[in-house]
């Protein structure tokens, strides 16, 4: 057998093993999705990346149905936070992303704290891009990291965007929600984002975001 033939056989073997591994992972995700579908309450898969699974993937349980088509059912009164629907005048969201559902609200607490909730739901991938892109295009300076948001039980991970454009500073916390482990866009994807206007204290913004998210999500646990 020639060295060329041996090389071709080795490559074919490697490709076959890779395909078998991918098929195994898909089968595993399908089985886990069936179990997830039998979970009581509104169980979803949350992750900081839409395109690939990360080690920060979590299963979250929500007080509300956060499926595409039902996002407007999230109440205006969320714990101690009172919400108000804001004008949906973001041209980039409406024209470029073409979301099927877009919720944009300002929530205020009795002590004067405020934040914004953005929910974008769609069955097509083009409806989503990292929120920091919007800040960058508008001339804001951004720093992006990930952070753990504590819930009553467990932590959900979010991308944290610190955006500055004097005299303003915003802290945005976002992640993606999927109905199951397969993360098929045709089954619907939701971008969940909380934005907090702050001074120079990012911990204060994170605490406010956590307080709000704890009224939405009951718990988070590792996905495996």
Q: Concatenated DSSP letters for the chain?
A: --HHHHHHHHHHHHHHHHHHHHHHHHHHHHHHHHHHHTSSSEEEEEES-SSS--TT-EEEEESS--STT-GGGS-SEETTEEEEE-----HIIIIII--SEEEEEEEEETTS-EEEEEEEEESSGGG---THHHHHHTT-EEEEEEEEEE-SBSEEEEEEEEEEETTEEEEEEEEEEESSTT--GGG-EEEEEEEEE-SS-HHHHHHHHHHHHHHHEEEEEE--
List per-residue pLDDT tens for the chain, 224 residues long: 555 565 555 555 555 554 454 444 444 443 344 445 445 579 999 999 998 899 999 999 999 999 999 999 999 999 999 999 998 776 666 666 788 999 999 999 999 999 999 999 999 888 888 888 888 888 999 999 999 999 999 999 999 999 999 989 999 999 999 999 999 999 999 999 999 998 667 788 999 999 999 999 999 999 87
Q: Which CATH architecture has domain 42-222?
A: 3-Layer(aba) Sandwich (3.40)
The domain ranges of the chain are: 1-38, 42-222
pLDDT at residue 129, rounded to an integer = 82
């Amino acid at each position: 057998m020639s060295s060329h033939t041996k090389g071709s056989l080795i490559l074919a073997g490697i490709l076959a093993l890779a395909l078998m591994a991918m098929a195994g992972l898909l089968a595993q995700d399908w089985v886990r999705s069936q179990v997830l579908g039998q979970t009581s309450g509104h169980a979803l898969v949350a992750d900081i990346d839409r395109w690939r699974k990360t080690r920060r993937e979590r299963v979250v349980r929500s007080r509300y149905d956060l499926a595409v088509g039902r996002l407007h059912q999230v109440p205006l009164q969320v714990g101690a936070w009172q919400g108000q629907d804001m004008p949906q005048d973001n041209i980039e969201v409406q024209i470029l992303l073409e979301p099927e559902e877009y919720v944009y609200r300002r929530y205020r607490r009795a002590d004067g704290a405020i934040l914004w909730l953005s929910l974008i739901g769609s069955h097509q991938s083009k409806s989503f891009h990292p929120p920091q892109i919007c800040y960058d295009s508008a001339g804001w300076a951004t720093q992006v990291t990930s952070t753990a948001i504590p819930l009553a039980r467990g932590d959900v991970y979010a991308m944290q965007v610190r955006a500055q454009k004097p005299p303003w500073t915003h802290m945005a916390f976002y992640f993606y929600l999927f109905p199951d482990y397969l993360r098929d866009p045709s089954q619907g994807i939701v971008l969940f984002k909380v934005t907090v206007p702050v001074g120079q204290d990012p911990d204060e913004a994170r605490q406010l975001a956590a307080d709000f998210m704890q009224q939405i999500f009951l718990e988070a646990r590792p996905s495996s």
